[in-house]
Amino acid sequence: MTDIALRAVHLTKRYGRLTALDDLNLDVIRGEVFGFLGPNGAGKSTTIRLLLGLARPSSGHAEVFGVAAADVTRAHRLLAYVPADVALWPHMTGAEILHLQARTGPGTDLAYRDELVDRFELDPSKPARTYSTGNRQKVALIAAFATRAPLLVLDEPTSGLDPLMEREFRTAVRSARDRGQTVFLSSHQLAEVEAVCDRVAILRAGHLADVATMSGLRALHRSEVTVSYTGPAPALAVVPGVEAITETGEGQLRFTLTGPPAPALRSLAAAGVTALAVREPSLEEVFLDYYGTENGR
Amino acid sequence: MTSVAVAGRPGRAVSQLAIRQIRRGGLIVAVLAGGMTAIVAATFDQVMADPAAAGSLQALASNPAIRTLFGDPIGLDTAGGFTVWRVGTVTTVLLGAWAILATTRTTRGEEEGGRWDLLLSGRITLTGALARHLAAVMAIAVATAVGITGALIASGTPAPGALIHGMGTGLAGLFFGATAALAAQIFPTRTPATGTAVAVLAVTLLARMIGDGVPALGWLRWLSPFGLMALSEPYVHNRAVPLLVLLAAAATVTVAVPLAAARRDVRGGLVAPPTGRPARLRLLDNVEAFAIRRVLRPLTGWALGIGAYFLLIGLTATSVTEFLAGNPALAGQAAEAGFADLGSVAGFAATLFALLAMPVGGFATVRLSAFVAAETDQRLALLAAQPISRARLLGAETAATAAAAVLLISVAGLTTWAGVALTGGHLALTAALHGVWNTFPVVLLSLGAAVLATGWAPRWTGVLGALPAIGGFLLLVIADSVAAPAWVKSLSPYSHLAPVPLAGADWAATAVMLALTAVLTVAGLAGYRQRDLRS
Ligand SMILES: Nc1ncnc2c1ncn2[C@@H]1O[C@H](COP(=O)(O)OP(=O)(O)O)[C@@H](O)[C@H]1O
Ligand SMILES: [Mg+2]
């Protein structure tokens, strides 16, 4: 088996005149937790449906551990999936659905599944028609996390979960990574991706905007620096990476900093700095940098 | 505009909502009931002008099997009595069934779907909303009663009889609407509420039939809206007491509705839904087993319906065929209408077995439509993400449906045979089974067409699937009545069905239909393999 868990090559999907996904090239490495970030309608679910062979690409192709995505009998032995809107057979109980998924799936750790049922506080004796959105999502999550499939593909899996359950979800993702499973997590929630992912791809209007590690992603973006000083005003304007210098008061400055901070620190050295605060950008701000003010599509 | 109305007159807005939801169906029912009544009343003079036809009618009416189905023919010598006997039961069942479906759909169905949460968060109470929705349905029942009465009076029948029959039908409509509303308070979901009310309709109709057929059990008719309508004897005695009893029953059930509603929560029922149950893990081990598991429940329902119908056919077969054999004139008329050899049980059975392909073909189509619905609402997504090929997914569904269809038609054969045997007639079990199995290729054609649609045009599964078994039958009927050229008729699979067990099977036609089914199925599977699942 290759070390590339998921591979998209020139993957494109058109719905009539709408290009939902445009020439996506992406490699997800075995063992990582990979975030797939984008606002609603960016094409995340479309991508996942192509990766799973639920939809056929207009052009390009996708592979799961080197197996063509269209060859579902082989490819799906290597993955478990949680869809964006989980719909269940209304007359079946949670336990029955979990049993069906385990029997037809790529192999399930039944003891771990029972543990997950407890941890997610699911009552599996109820018929699915009585489950809320969150409970339906829990059923699909438990079924997926309990498999020993080397790849978990999760499409916005926490949209219906409350904060406590979201914590359980993050724990489960980390345990999956500890066991060596690869996780492909689509989300429009930055905090979630920030909390669990190693690398993240950012999708906008069907285009891949960037792929980066979490720290690399932040480094690419502006930190906000606030300084108070007693000496002469520092000559920051000529320092590379420094922008948007504003005087916020007597002997007080605020500026943004991109890239390594050493040159800026050197020019601050002579100013007699009494206080210095560096604020890391939140992923929200990172996100806004990609998307600007307009909303994706 | 609308929001102003809601703010000012919430009750009125709810009434308008209720009417909007039922007006089209209600209008169709009222027009159909009045129209059928008018048409039958108009044919009376024509029938009576022909002494042979009039004699046949009298003979037919005296047949016990016919009496059981249509009720006691009273006053057949008057246009009103004749009309009541011919269409009274049909229009009452039509109105009653519609009232049940409309009531549970607009009350419990809307509530179950969460669409009443918003409605009831305003100034409208649960009882208020219920009353207004039930009132809308009841208004249609009253309109239907007025239509029937009007049609009968306009046809020149005496007004008292017209009023008694019209009011009887309307009261039965009110009764079944109220029964459905009450059932909708008892059960928290629409399906058991509808099922219970429909069961009341079926049981009360049966009570009337038994009361008519078995003199010792004649009192059963007092317990049934249909029986009470019969007891009112429109155009003969015009009795008001049975209608007053029916009115009292309808009023009692209506009053019980708000009382029951007051004792329950919104979205709840008097009986709580089962909150949990032990897991039933049978037939969950692979997609094939799962397809069987999902077909079992609908199969049981369809088998009960089809079994009951063909049991009735079997029970009446001997009586009807003996009667036809003794009435060459009527048999001649039947032959002219395309029903040859109705005079023998085998011929009678063969004719009715051909009809079997219609409901069973419909069953196959409904099953494939349900499969497409599961795909559309994403229920299938979890299974489609398992290591299961598309062909296997659809193949399992198709195979389970085909197997269920075989069981269904076999049930029809068995119950027909049982019915004939119970009444001392002669129909061999093997003959009955050969007869029903002979229709299987037509069922398969429908299944194949539905699979083809599932693969290439999922939205058309219902239409395409119904085309061979139901469209084919209609084509034959229409072609017969407009004397269309032979090639038009030959497009219908029914024109290639041999009358088994009266004759042997047409193996060439059977082989062609099976080959066609295979082509349709393979093409459908190929389409399903390569298309996008619906999202
Ligand atoms: N089956 C479809 N037919 C037509 N358009 C679709 C279909 N599925 C998705 N789209 C469109 O493709 C775009 C991407 O959708 P989707 O992948 O669901 O976005 P996301 O999951 O990122 O919210 C949207 O504009 C959506 O309307
Ligand atoms: Mg999505």
Over residues B197-218, the pLDDT tens digits come to 988 998 898 888 878 767 788 8
**Which chain B residues contact residue A101 at CB under 8 A?**
382, 386
The predicted-structure confidence for A223-254, as pLDDT tens digits, reads as follows: 888 888 888 888 888 888 888 888 888 888 88
Q: What is the CATH number of the domain that holds A247?
A: 3.30.70
pLDDT given at position B341: 63
**Dist. CA B95–CA B175, nearest whole Å:** 11
Q: Please tell me the distance between residue B81's alpha carbon and the centre of ligand 1 in angstroms.
A: 63
Task: For residues B524-534, give the mean pLDDT.
Answer: 96
pLDDT given at position A295: 47
**Dist. CA A28–CA A182, nearest whole Å:** 8
Q: C-alpha A125: how far from its chain's center? A: 32
Handedness of CA A203, A208, A212, A218 (dihedral sign): negative
Does ligand 1 come within 6 angstroms of the Cβ of A31? no
Q: Tell me what the pLDDT averaged over chain B comes to.
A: 88
Chain A / chain B CB contacts < 8 angstroms = 103
CB contact under 8 A, B277 and A125: yes
By the 8 A CB rule, do B191 and B112 touch?
no
Which residue has its alpha carbon closest to ligand 1 atom 11? A20
Task: For residues B113-138, give the mean pLDDT.
Answer: 89
The arrangement of strands across the sheet holding A252-257 comes to A242-249, A252-257, A223-229, A273-279
Structural element, H or E, at residue B403: helix B390-422
In this predicted structure, which of A24-33, B17-26, B165-174, B468-477 has the lowest mean pLDDT?
Answer: B468-477
User: Could you give the C-alpha distances from A214 to A34, A35, A281, in angstroms and in order?
Assistant: 10, 9, 12
Residue type, position B418, single letter: A
**Which chain A residues contact residue B533 at CB under 8 A?**
49, 54-55
Q: Residues A109, A230: one domain?
A: no
**Dist. CA A234–CA A230, nearest whole Å:** 11
Structural element, H or E, at residue B437: helix B429-437
Test site for ligand 1: of A11, A17, A18, A47, most ligand atoms within 8 A of the Cβ: A18
**Dist. CA A186–CA A37, nearest whole Å:** 6
How much is the pTM?
0.77
Question: What is the phi-psi region of residue B437: left when phi exceeds 0, alpha when psi lies from -120 to 50, beta otherwise?
Answer: alpha
Strand A242-249 with A199-204, pairing: unpaired
Task: For residues A113-142, give the mean pLDDT.
Answer: 94
Handedness of CA B520, B521, B524, B530 (dihedral sign): negative
pLDDT band at A291 (very low <50, low <70, confident <90, very high): low
Domain assignment present for residue A116? The answer is yes
Q: Which of A144, A69, A157, A71 is nearest to A107 (CA)?
A: A144
Test site for ligand 1: of A24, A37, A46, A184, most ligand atoms within 8 A of the Cβ: A46
Strand A4-15 with A18-29, pairing: antiparallel
By the 8 A CB rule, do B432 and B413 touch?
yes
CB contact under 8 A, B533 and A55: yes
Structural element, H or E, at residue A180: none
Q: Which residues contact A225 (CB under 8 A, 6 or more apart)?
A: A254, A255, A256, A257, A261, A264, A276, A277, A278, A279
Chain B residue with the nearest C-alpha to that of A105: B386
Q: Please tell me the distance between residue A198's alpha carbon and the centre of ligand 1 in angstroms.
A: 26
**Burial group, residue A14, by CB count within 10 angstroms (0-12, 13-18, 19+):** middle
CB contact under 8 A, B535 and A77: no
CB contact under 8 A, B382 and A83: yes
Neighbours of B17 (CB within 10 A): 18
Q: Please tell me the distance between residue A40's alpha carbon and the centre of ligand 2 in angstroms.
A: 6
Of all residues in chain A, what percent carry a pLDDT higher than 70?
A: 94
Q: Which of A141, A197, A149 is nearest to A172 (CA)?
A: A141
The predicted-structure confidence for B41-57, as pLDDT tens digits, reads as follows: 887 877 777 776 677 67
**Burial group, residue A41, by CB count within 10 angstroms (0-12, 13-18, 19+):** middle
The arrangement of strands across the sheet holding A67-68 comes to A18-29, A4-15, A59-64, A67-68
Residues pairing with A125 in the sheet: none
Q: Residues A185, A261: one domain?
A: no
Which residue has its alpha carbon closest to ligand 1 atom 26? A41
**Burial group, residue A292, by CB count within 10 angstroms (0-12, 13-18, 19+):** exposed
Does ligand 1 come within 6 angstroms of the Cβ of A204? no
CB contact under 8 A, A81 and B390: no
pLDDT band at B331 (very low <50, low <70, confident <90, very high): low
By the 8 A CB rule, do B145 and B169 touch?
yes
Closest ligand, as measured to the CA of A207: 1
**Burial group, residue A44, by CB count within 10 angstroms (0-12, 13-18, 19+):** buried
Could you tell me if B117 lies within 8 Å of chain A, comparing CB atoms? no
Q: Given A76, A85, A104, which is nearest B286 (Cβ)?
A: A104
By the 8 A CB rule, do B180 and B100 touch?
yes
Both tokens of B262, joined, read 């007051």
Domain boundary among A167, A193, A218: A218
Which of B297, B382, B393 best probes binding to A when mutated, by most A CB atoms within 10 angstroms?
B382
Task: For residues B454-478, give the mean pLDDT.
Answer: 90
pLDDT given at position A8: 97
Could you tell me if A143 lies within 8 Å of chain B, comparing CB atoms? yes
pLDDT band at B148 (very low <50, low <70, confident <90, very high): very high
Q: What is the CATH number of the domain that holds A25?
A: 3.40.50.300
Residues pairing with A36 in the sheet: A186, A201
pLDDT given at position B342: 63
Q: Please tell me the distance between residue A106's alpha carbon and the centre of ligand 1 in angstroms.
A: 28
The arrangement of strands across the sheet holding A79-82 comes to A79-82, A151-155, A182-187, A33-37, A199-204, A207-213
**Dist. CA B123–CA B14, nearest whole Å:** 11
Range of the domain at A162: 4-218
CB contact under 8 A, B385 and A127: no
Q: Is A297 or B15 the better-scoring residue by pLDDT?
A: B15
Does ligand 1 come within 6 angstroms of the Cβ of A42? yes
Domain assignment present for residue A296? The answer is no
Does ligand 1 come within 6 angstroms of the Cβ of A187? no
Q: Is B265 or B65 the better-scoring residue by pLDDT?
A: B265
**Dist. CA A147–CA A109, nearest whole Å:** 6
pLDDT given at position A52: 96
Question: Quick check: A262 pLDDT over 90?
Answer: no
**Dist. CA B439–CA B360, nearest whole Å:** 10
Domain assignment present for residue A28? The answer is yes
Does ligand 1 come within 6 angstroms of the Cβ of A56? no
Q: How far off is chain B from A90, nearest CA to CA, in Å?
A: 9
**Dist. CA B46–CA A272, nearest whole Å:** 117
Task: For residues B92-101, give the mean pLDDT.
Answer: 94
Does ligand 1 come within 6 angstroms of the Cβ of A43? yes
Could you tell me if A245 lies within 8 Å of chain B, comparing CB atoms? no
Does ligand 1 come within 6 angstroms of the Cβ of A13? no
Domain boundary among A201, A218, A235: A218
Q: Residues A105, A203: one domain?
A: yes
**Vertex A230: Cα angle to A228 and A231 (nearest 5):** 120
Task: For residues A113-138, give the mean pLDDT.
Answer: 94
**Which chain A residues contact residue B281 at CB under 8 A?**
95-96, 99
DSSP letter string over A73-141? Answer: HHHGGGEEEE-SS----TTSBHHHHHHHHHHHSS-B-HHHHHHHHHHTT--TTSBGGG--HHHHHHHHH
Domain boundary among A189, A218, A247: A218
pLDDT given at position B330: 64
Closest ligand, as measured to the CA of A58: 1
pLDDT given at position B3: 43
Domain count of the fold of chain A:
2
Nearest ligand 1 atom to alpha carbon A48 = 17
pLDDT given at position A294: 46
Q: Tell me what the pLDDT averaged over chain A comes to.
A: 90
The size of chain B, in residues, is: 535
Could you tell me if A244 lies within 8 Å of chain B, comparing CB atoms? no
Q: Residues A163, A235: one domain?
A: no
Does ligand 1 come within 6 angstroms of the Cβ of A83? no
Q: Please tell me the distance between residue A21's alpha carbon and the centre of ligand 2 in angstroms.
A: 12
ipTM: 0.84
Domain assignment present for residue A297? The answer is no
Q: Please tell me the distance between residue A218's alpha carbon and the centre of ligand 2 in angstroms.
A: 25
**Which chain A residues contact residue B455 at CB under 8 A?**
none
Question: What is the phi-psi region of residue B529: left when phi exceeds 0, alpha when psi lies from -120 to 50, beta otherwise?
Answer: alpha
Domain assignment present for residue A11? The answer is yes
pLDDT given at position B289: 97
DSSP state of A296: -
Chain A residue with the nearest C-alpha to that of B375: A87
User: Could you give the C-alpha distances from B318 to A106, B210, B321, B323, B348, in angstroms and in order?
Assistant: 59, 19, 5, 8, 9
pLDDT given at position B345: 82
**Dist. CA B54–CA B36, nearest whole Å:** 20
Task: For residues A128-143, give the mean pLDDT.
Answer: 93
User: Could you give the C-alpha distances from A284 to A88, A193, B294, in angstroms and in order?
Assistant: 34, 11, 46
Test site for ligand 1: of A12, A15, A40, A193, most ligand atoms within 8 A of the Cβ: A15
Residue type, position B452, single letter: L
**Which chain B residues contact residue A52 at CB under 8 A?**
384-385
Question: Quick check: B336 pLDDT over 70?
Answer: no
**Which chain B residues contact residue A130 at CB under 8 A?**
273, 275
Q: Which of A10, A19, A15 is nearest to A205 (CA)?
A: A19
CB contact under 8 A, B535 and A124: no
Domain assignment present for residue A194? The answer is yes
Strand A207-213 with A199-204, pairing: antiparallel
Q: Given A73, A85, A88, which is nearest B387 (Cβ)?
A: A73
In this predicted structure, which of A87-96, A226-235, B315-324, B493-502 has the lowest mean pLDDT?
Answer: B315-324
**Dist. CA A6–CA A4, nearest whole Å:** 6
Structural element, H or E, at residue A19: strand A18-29
Q: Residues A12, A54: one domain?
A: yes
Q: Residues A165, A281: one domain?
A: no
The predicted-structure confidence for B355-397, as pLDDT tens digits, reads as follows: 899 899 999 999 999 999 999 989 999 999 999 999 999 999 9
